[in-house]
Amino acid sequence: MSVSTTITVPVPPGLVIAPQLPDLLLPVKVRRGVTGFLRNHPTVAIGGGLLLCLVLIGIFAPYLWTLDPTALAPAKRTRAPSADFWFGTDALGRDVYSRVLYGARVSLTVGLSVAALASLAGLAIGLVSGFVRWADGILMRFMDGLMSIPPILFAVALMALTRGSVGNVIMAITIAEIPRVSRLVRGVVLSLREQPYVDAAVTCGTRTPMIILRHILPNTLAPMLVQATYLCASAMIVESILSFIGAGTPPTIPSWGNIMAEGRALWQVKPFIVFFPAAFLSVTVLAVNLLGDGLRDALDPRMAKSL
Amino acid sequence: MVSYILRRVLSTVPVMAIVALFVFSLLYIAPGDPAAIIAGDQASPDDIERIRQGLGLDRPFLVQFGSWLWRILHGDLGTSIFTNLPVSSLIAQRIEPTLSLMLLTLVLTIVVAVPLGVLAAWKAGSWVDRTIMAFAVFAFSLPVFVVAYVLAFVFALQFEWLPVQGYTPLAEGFWPWLHNLILPAIALGSVYIALIARITRASMLEVLQQDYIRTARAKGLDQRSILFVHALKNAAVPIITVIGIGVALLIGGAVVTESVFAIPGLGRLTIDAILRRDYPVIQGIVLMFSFLYVLVNLIVDLTYTLVDPRIRY
C-alpha cells in the first residue's frame, strides 16, 4: 500500500506515520418504526402488501361486484371473459370471477389455519421432545416414520377417511405437516438448551416450565414465524392439489383447486376457466413466500447472506 | 464401511414399521365393513359374521396388524375393492409411466439446477445471480399444475411442438417416449429445480469462501476447474441431501402432473382410488411411495462416502 499523504514536517528516523484512512464507511441511515422496517426489507412490504390485498378480497368478496358463485346459468355456459363476466363463465354457467374471489376465502383460511395449528402442535411436540429425554427417542422415531410418507400422499390418505370439508382439509394437511415442524422446533430447542443463559437460569434454581416459557419459547418464535409462512404457502398448494384431484374441498364450495378441476375437461378450448384461479393461486403463494423470505432475512441476518 | 451400510439399512426398518402401522390403521379405521361388502346385499347377519371370522376381522388390532404385515412382506398388498384385482398387479401395471416421469425429472433437475446454482454462486451479487434467484423464488411459488397448464398451453396448443397429453412406453423407442414426457418433466421439475438451485448456490457460497479455494486461485487454476472440481465436490453433500428430500415433492407432484397430461400412471390410479374410496389401493400406493422415498434417502446417505472421502464410518 502506498502512503499518499504529503509530509511537510521532517520526520525523525524510526517514526512511522499511520496512513490516513479513506472514508470507506459511509454514514448508515438508521430507519426506525414499522415504515423503517418495511423500507429496509422491501420483500416483506411487497409480500405482506399483496397478502393483505388478497385477504381483503376474500373478506369483501360479496361487495366486489360479484354474483352468487354457485348460481347456475345453463344458458350462459362457457362464455369468454367480457364486460358482463370479467373472467368468463364455467361449464355450468357460473361466473368465474365471483368463484375465484370467493375461492380466496378457502385458500387463505386453509393456509392460515394450517400455519397456526401445525406451528402450535409442532411447538408442543418439539418442546417436549427437546426437554423430556425419554420421550425424545420415541417421539422422534415416530416422526421419522411419518416424515417418510410424502406430505401430499399423507393428506390424501387422511382425506380418504373422511368427507370432504374445509375443516377436514385443514386437519389432514396439519397432521401431514406436524412431523417436519416438530423436528425443526426440537432442533432449535436443543441448541437453545446449551446456551449459557439457560445454564445460568438453571443455576439460579429456575424451574423447567419457567425456563421454557421465559428463555426457550421467545427464542423459538423468530424461526417459527418464518416456518409458519412457508407452512402457509405449502398448505395452500396442497389444498389446491387435494381439491384438484377430488380429495379436498367439496365441489359445492368454490376453491381455486375446485375451479381448476372443473375447468380441466375444457381447458384446451376454454383455457380462461383454469387460467384465472391458477393466476390467483400463484400470486398468493408468491406473496406468502416473499413475506417468508423477507422475514427470514430480517430476523436472521446470517441466513440472509447464504440463501 | 460394511458395518455402516448394514446399520443404515437396518435403521430403515423401524421407519418402515411406523409407515406400515400408519397405513394399516388407515384401513382399520376406514369407514365401511369389508365383510359386509364381500358378503353382498342379500347376506344375513350370520353370513357376514362368518365371513368376518373367516377374514380374521374379529381378532385384536395387533394380531390383525401382524398377519397383514406378514402378507405385505410376501408381496401381497391385498385386493382392490372396486376391480377385485390384486393391488400389487394394479401398481405393477401403472408403475412404468410414473417412474419414467420421475427419473426424467430427476435427471433434468440435476442437469439444470446444479449449473444454475453454481453460476449464481460464482457471480454472487451480480445481475446473473439476481435473475437466477428471482426465477427460483417464482418457480418455487408456482404450483405444479399451474406450470403444467401454462407449458401445455404455450408449447402444445399454441406452437404445437409437443403433444398435449399421453404417454408412449419406453419399449416403443426412446425418442417417442421423451417426446411425450418432456413437458410433464419440466412442469414437475420446476419447483424442484428452484429448490436445488437455491441449495447449490448456498452451499457453493460457503465453500467458495474457504482457504483452499483462494489457494487454487492463487496457483492459477482456471475458473472452471476451481468451480466444478474443487468447490462443487466439497459443496455436494448438502445438495445431494436436498435432492433426496425433494423426491417427496416429485411424488406428490407426479400425481397432479399425470392428471394434467393424461399419463396413465400411478397418479391416475391414486385419483381413481380416492374417488371410489378403494382403501386397499390407497394403502398400497402410500406404502409403495413411502418405501421408494425411504429407499432413495438410503441411497443418498450411502453416496456421501463416494462424494466425500473424508466421511468415514
What DSSP string describes B240-287? HHHHHHHHHHHHHHHHHHHHHTT--SHHHHHHHHHHTT-HHHHHHHHH
Higher per-residue pLDDT: A300 or B99: B99
Residue A246 has pLDDT above 80, yes or no: yes
Residue B128 has pLDDT above 50, yes or no: yes
Radius of gyration for the alpha carbons in chain A, expressed in angstroms and rounded:
27
Picking from A44, A184, A242, A245 by the largest number of B CB atoms within 10 A of its own CB, the best residue to mutate is A245
Q: Is A241 in Cβ contact with B290 (below 8 Å)?
A: no
- Out of A151, A160, A237, the one facing B274 most closely (by C-beta) is A160
CA contacts within 13 A on the Cβ side of B219: 9
Assess B126–A contact: CB distance below 8 Å, yes or no.
Answer: no
Residue B106 has pLDDT above 90, yes or no: yes
Q: Is A274 in Cβ contact with B149 (below 8 Å)?
A: yes
> How far is Cα B128 from Cα B117, in angstroms, rounded to an integer?
11
Higher per-residue pLDDT: A3 or B131: B131
Q: What is the SS3 assignment for B193?
A: helix
For residue B79, what is its C-alpha cell? 385386493
- Out of A141, A153, A275, the one facing B251 most closely (by C-beta) is A153
Model confidence pLDDT, tens digit, residues B45-65: 777 777 777 766 777 788 888
* Distance, C-alpha A171 to centroid of its chain: 17
Residue A145 has pLDDT above 80, yes or no: yes
What number is the average pLDDT over the span A48-61?
87
Going through B193-283 in order, the beta strands assigned E by DSSP cover: none
Q: What residues are paired with A89 via a beta bridge?
A: A95
Q: Is A247 in Cβ contact with B274 (below 8 Å)?
A: yes
Average pLDDT, chain A: 82
Model confidence pLDDT, tens digit, residues B203-236: 998 888 888 888 888 888 888 888 888 888 888 8
Q: What is the SS3 assignment for B313?
A: coil
Q: What residues are paired with A278 via a beta bridge?
A: none
Whole-number pLDDT of residue A164: 77
Q: What is the SS3 assignment for B276?
A: coil
- A-chain CB neighbours of B135 within 8 Å are none
Identify residue A123 by its one-letter amino acid code: L
Residue A240 phi, psi (nearest 5): -70, -35
What number is the average pLDDT over the span A232-247?
89
Higher per-residue pLDDT: B159 or A290: A290
Burial class (CB in 10 A: 0-12, 13-18, 19+), B194: buried
What number is the average pLDDT over the span B256-265?
87
What number is the average pLDDT over the span B19-26?
86
What number is the average pLDDT over the span A188-195?
87
Banded pLDDT at A89 (limits 50, 70, 90): confident
pTM: 0.84
How wide is the angle at C-alpha A56 spanned by C-alphas A51 and A58, nearest 5°?
95
What number is the average pLDDT over the span B172-196?
88
Higher per-residue pLDDT: B13 or A12: B13
- How is residue A75 annotated by DSSP? G
The continuous run of DSSP H or E covering B135 comes out as: helix B127-141
Least confident range from A294-303, B8-17, B66-75, B86-95: namely: A294-303
Q: Is the ipTM of this complex over 0.90?
A: no
Identify residue A87 by its one-letter amino acid code: F
What number is the average pLDDT over the span B137-147?
86
Query: Residue A161: closest CA among chain B residues belongs to which residue?
Result: B30
